[in-house]
Amino acid sequence: MTPHRWQKSSYCQEGDACVHISTSPDSPTTVRIADAAPPRNVLTVGAEAFGALLGLLKSRDGW
């Protein structure tokens, strides 16, 4: 199993209380969303659902 490489949100201020995402070669259609790195709480969704979430967030004012 390949370890996850977590990427911090570009909208994050300094510190660890940020949204982090990860995919892995073992499961390229799965996206993991965490509240910190190393992750304490992880939400796992499909790539299509993650894309829909990003689309919704980008459609809001100020994004």
DSSP labels, 2-62: PPP--EE-TT--SSS-S-EEEEETTEEEEEEEESSSS-SSEEEEEHHHHHHHHHHHHHSTT
In a domain, 63, yes or no: no
Confidence at residue 15, expressed as pLDDT on a 0 to 100 scale: 65
CA atoms within 13 A on the CB side of 33: 12
pTM of this structure: 0.72
Section 12-21 average pLDDT: 76
Domain that holds residue 35: 7-58
Question: Per the structure, how many domains does the chain have?
Answer: 1
Give tens-digit pLDDT for 28-54. Answer: 889 999 887 777 888 999 999 999 988
In a domain, 22, yes or no: yes
Whether pLDDT at 11 is above 80: no
In a domain, 2, yes or no: no
Confidence at residue 61, expressed as pLDDT on a 0 to 100 scale: 65
In a domain, 13, yes or no: yes
* Tokens describing residue 8: 């911090």
